[in-house]
Amino acid sequence: MNFYNNFTNKHLKIAHRGYRSIRPENTLSAFEASIGKFDFIELDIQVTKDLELVVFHDYKLERTTNINKNKNFPFNGSYNIYDYTLEELRLLDIQNWFIKDDPFGKIKKGKVTKEELKSLTKQAILTVDDILLFAQTNNIALNIELKDCDCIEDELFVSKLLSCIDKHNIKIPLLISSFNDNYLKIIKEKSHNIATAINIENKHPEDLINYVNSLNVQSYHCAVNIATPSVVKRLIDAGFVVNVFTVNDEKKASELFDMGIKSIFTDYCLECTS
């Protein structure tokens, strides 16, 4: 099944880590705020010390948790997510930092109401099971990004995610992406028919089309600064869907859609349609 056949909109807007300009990223509140405003949700997956899969972007916990202020977590030299069990991580609050830091200036601009701020009460880190069940209940498609995790064998990491998906009999459209192409190869080796996508940050790979063909992915996700018209055209001519991250500007979004890209990963609820 082609993941993109599930959508009627010509151009798609992806909630990058949820609707993270008005809610703390990768939280239930950011995912709830995305419903009805984006075509699908992107989120990041990592592994804990006890090999549970959790929804979290940074490899370290300081930026988006209250770990610095929690007496249960004395500083141990670094606050790596993989040094803690799921039970320990669940003691951390992943919302309050957003109110203090206002990373997109939306609170200052009055775009988050007082009532909404009040509703941002203590929230714990989500597991993959939590987000899969949330998406199934709300009938929203997901792009699950597997972060590059050194603390677990590649095969085990991928198998754990696929088992969660199979265990819950998830029927909503799913797309698994990663910067680590070995994860994508393992999914295909397992003959799992889930759609996959490669993420590229700084430089397009040598022998681009052969490389993307070899991965058997449905889409190519690249950073906005390397999404040039010539590369986008080559990929589209070869039959690939191109999605671009992270686009928070309407003019840039329209320019990219006119170039032929399918989707933007965005932190904002942009109005542009072409």
Q: Which residues bind ligand G3P (CB under 6 A)?
A: 16, 42, 44, 57, 145, 177, 199, 221, 245, 265
Q: Which does 262 bind (CB under 5 to 8 A by kind): Ca ion, ligand G3P, none?
A: none
Minimum CB–partner distance for residue 202 and ligand G3P (Å): 12
Residue nearest to ligand G3P (CB): 245
Cα-based distances in Å from 67 to 20, 54, 103, 176: 20, 16, 18, 29
Minimum CB–partner distance for residue 146 and ligand G3P (Å): 10
Minimum CB–partner distance for residue 5 and ligand G3P (Å): 21
Q: Which does 93 bind (CB under 5 to 8 A by kind): ligand G3P, Ca ion, none?
A: none
Q: Which does 199 bind (CB under 5 to 8 A by kind): Ca ion, ligand G3P, none?
A: ligand G3P
Nearest to 239 by CA among 269, 217, 254, 264: 217
Query: Between 44 and 93, whose beta carbon lies closer to Ca ion?
Result: 44
Minimum CB–partner distance for residue 113 and Ca ion (Å): 27
Rule CB under 5 A: is residue 25 a binding residue for Ca ion? Answer: no
State which of positions 37-56 bind Ca ion (CB under 5 A): 44
Cα-based distances in Å from 137 to 3, 168, 170: 19, 12, 10
Query: Between 132 and 175, whose beta carbon lies closer to ligand G3P?
Result: 175
Q: Which does 221 bind (CB under 5 to 8 A by kind): ligand G3P, Ca ion, none?
A: ligand G3P
Among 93, 145, 181, 267, binds Ca ion (CB under 5 A): 145
Bridge partner residues of 46 (DSSP)? 54
Query: Between 91 and 231, whose beta carbon lies closer to ligand G3P?
Result: 231
Query: Between 145 and 267, whose beta carbon lies closer to Ca ion?
Result: 145
Q: Please provide the DSSP assignment of the chain as one string.
A: --GGGG--SSSEEEEETTTTTTS-TTSHHHHHHHTTTSSEEEEEEEE-TT--EEE---SBSTTTS-GGG-TTS---S--BGGGS-HHHHTTS-SSHHHHHH-TTSTTTTT-S-HHHHHH----PPEEHHHHHHHHHHHT-EEEEEE---TTS-HHHHHHHHHHHHHHTT--S-EEEEES-HHHHHHHHHTT---EEEEEE-SSPPTTHHHHHHHHT-SEEEEEGGG--HHHHHHHHHTT-EEEEE----HHHHHHHHHHT--EEEESS------
Minimum CB–partner distance for residue 16 and ligand G3P (Å): 6
Minimum CB–partner distance for residue 17 and ligand G3P (Å): 6
Size, binding site for Ca ion by CB under 5 A: 2
Query: Between 14 and 28, whose beta carbon lies closer to ligand G3P?
Result: 14
Interaction site with Ca ion (CB under 5 A): 44, 145
